[in-house]
A and B are shown apart, each in its own frame.
Chain A
């Protein structure tokens, strides 16, 4: 199921890969760029042999260790010794903390890189475990996609071109789009992506692009989000209408992050003011007549339709494949029969 919802409650968990510190409080209102949690990742370790360093036997090593587990140390601090006439010592090879002392050995963990996780969209902190996970909630428009290049950003949304299948082209990209999140139908060449980099755009949302552009998209400094897939696929009508009606608003593009949660999909979130009661997205919707769906395979790929009937008989397709099927009503196309496996529910 894909969510393309004009207004809903959006609740997302931001989780550090390792325990660290949560920097926001429950009930605090936060902005998209706010850092909600941080942790040191991939610190380097030093396993120091005290007996060898001091030239003593392993059973005597414990007596000479001067640090304790949990101590923070600076480069050059003495960790063991002095011992013997030469007054040998074991010193910290780097700044860090002592994380283990065992059998005459000291395990020093140097300070690693700091990983910071941003909120990604403006909202309210509704829960936190204080060390690793934060849950943020907002009311807004939710448009889920199918692929992202692994980055997040936030900016004012601008439409490029005049329809869901318009191509992103270099001559459309001028200084007026500087710092914006661009929405276009298709990008089939690296040049518009590079020009958008020069304009410091904050994101690009597309229906589709050729898969050969994946390496280019992965090197870009801004998020790229595809709503349909790879190839020349326009943005589906339901999503495009929502983008059009929100042009000029700020949009958070989450094209996947370095530490995605299981099942997390790339998505665009457009925060909305709302005073009325707004419901959460459904987790399960049964496929039945009247349900809105999106077609996942040609010849109607990307079309939004309504299920008319779930067929009892198995249908045969041009490939010869026989599959359980449904008839669907595609706006402007008419009634078509498609395999159940080739449609997904669109809420």
Chain B
């Protein structure tokens, strides 16, 4: 065992709806490194409905790479490491797989407790199937019918500040109890109460024996304070319970992890929050993950995490839902070649049937990246409504300043050249000012989050290693300028080379200066009047030290917001040009 670290070998498993990943970390030269990762199809759905098979296949791949025996003869995890070097010291697990948890939200005041509960529900794997609040004009009997027809797995009840309203909350909880008791015992929903704390004991006394009720601290202890963290834990337990009822194998991972298995979204949020405490406090940190069944957007500002889990937006089963919020023409606008809308529609439905498939033809790859852009764009739009006020720029349609932006998801990670992922992120997120794009190609972020409690150094060490790929530094000038007019001049001094790069960037241009991974450079930017590059206001020049990346320095002067050409032919030509400019196609 290492002298500076309490644990040496860490095994992390993340069970997704399509893939199960296993990652093995070990100490090399006093630092944690990713040693091997395995990926196998998840076996969460019928006919198996048991995640164990997928987990074992992923572990087999890790074993095949490292030669390290992880399971004993009875298929149990060997822990701690034996004298022969088998097993691991620490095991962590995260999961996003499993059926969605149907949830009815019962709250007191729209705009207050109900809004807090909505934010809570939207930050985890809940399928919101009904909302009831005090201003709801439906009769009580209709509300009972609503709960019954929704057939929820979970009813989340909130309302009243601590020491505030009592009678109204009790009326609501009574209504919930009456409705819940009408379900057969094996279908009765779990109730999580996260309202006025003073009523907790009374509610438990009155209903604890009749119903499955869990008490959590108030999501809105006062009008000005919102506390979602504690209630999120209670919801996590309810989600895990609902999931364990329908899918086998989670209990084993729970046992291996010492009862600390986490929801993938919670673990992901934990990493982003942690990073926001390390990086520039003036900016936030943004994490985006395009999954098969959901999309996560995690933004953290000095430790204040805003996590969104869009359970109806993903590149797998829910893909047809994208068309409820977007359109085929919105998807096609990101394509560099003409693909018939009928073909796009068929692709969407076929991908929802077979989400694990990979695009072998170029058109399919570009289409999946176009779908990812729309999913990210919509997810970000929804997520930003929950970001703290004062973090947005004056123009509400512009992205506030965040750095870095960490991206994950198979569609980005498996892109054949880094330029594909970089351009998709630029188009979908449209960052402003100066930021860095970082790709998490192995989907390690949730595992790092889950391990951060027991092995805090793991996140720092792995982030500093090559397991996360920096795509490069991105400069996105903001301001009005005519197309083709100069927006900035730049001077780049490479530390490992005597040759400087001096140039200017014009409006509409997407410029890339290659700077290799591991190299550093001093960048001086002199924006034109009225153009803001993030140095404190329009026209303000500045200099900074930047690191290289898989793409390099990217200057996106295409405008914020990005306005695409109206003419389809011209638009496709520009999309093609931008793919070339950023090095995605050669």
Contacts and interface: CB of A to CB of B under 8 A. Distances in A.
- A and B associate in one complex: yes
B151 A320 contact: no
Interface in A131-164: 132, 146-147
B356 A341 contact: yes
Contacts of B343: 231
Interface stretch (B181-189, B375-383, B393-401, B495-503): B181-189
B47 A339 contact: no
B46 A296 contact: no
B145 A318 contact: no
A35 B48 CA distance: 28
Nearest to A344: B354
B358 interface: yes
Interface string B350-388: 100110111111101100000000000000000000000
Contact of A318 (B47, B181, B362): B362
Contacts of B178: 47, 100, 102, 107
A148 to B, nearest CB: 11
A262 B346 CA distance: 24
Contacts of B354: 146, 229, 296-297, 344
Interface residues of B, number: 43
B358 A339 contact: yes
A42 B145 contact: yes
B345 A211 contact: yes
Contact of A341 (B46, B174, B357, B362): B357
A210 B184 contact: no
Main secondary structure, interface of A, reads loop
B348 A264 contact: no
A33 interface: no
B167 to A, nearest CB: 13
A251 to B, nearest CB: 22
Contacts, number: 127
B530 to A, nearest CB: 40
Nearest to B43: A284
B358 A342 contact: yes
Contacts of B349: 147, 211, 214, 229-230
A321 interface: yes
Contacts of B345: 210-212, 230
Given A19-B184, A42-B149, A296-B354, A321 B416 contact: yes
B353 A146 contact: yes
B53 A47 contact: no
Contacts of A103: 174
B187 A100 contact: no
A108 B119 CA distance: 35
Contact of A18 (B187, B246, B360, B414): B187
B353 A211 contact: no
Contacts of B144: 45, 47, 107
Contacts of B357: 296-297, 339, 341-342
A165 to B, nearest CB: 16
Interface string B479-517: 000000000000000000000000000000000000000
A322 interface: yes
Contacts of A147: 349, 353
B46 A264 contact: yes
B49 interface: yes
B83 interface: no
A263 B49 contact: yes
A319 B45 contact: no
A321 B414 contact: yes
Nearest to B46: A263
A180 B349 CA distance: 28
A17 B151 contact: yes
A249 interface: no
A323 interface: yes
Contacts of B353: 146-147, 229
Interface of A: 1, 17-19, 42-47, 99-100, 102-103, 107, 109, 132, 146-147, 210-212, 214, 229-231, 261-264, 283-284, 296-299, 316-323, 338-339, 341-342, 344
5 contacts: A102-B178, A147-B349, A262-B246, A296-B357, A298-B361
Given A210-B342, A320-B416, 16 more contacts: A47-B178, A100-B181, A103-B174, A211-B342, A231-B350, A262-B246, A297-B354, A297-B360, A298-B360, A316-B416, A318-B361, A318-B362, A319-B416, A321-B360, A322-B416, A338-B360
Q: Which 8 A-B pairs have the closest CB atoms?
A: A263-B46, A320-B416, A317-B360, A319-B365, A211-B349, A231-B346, A230-B346, A230-B349
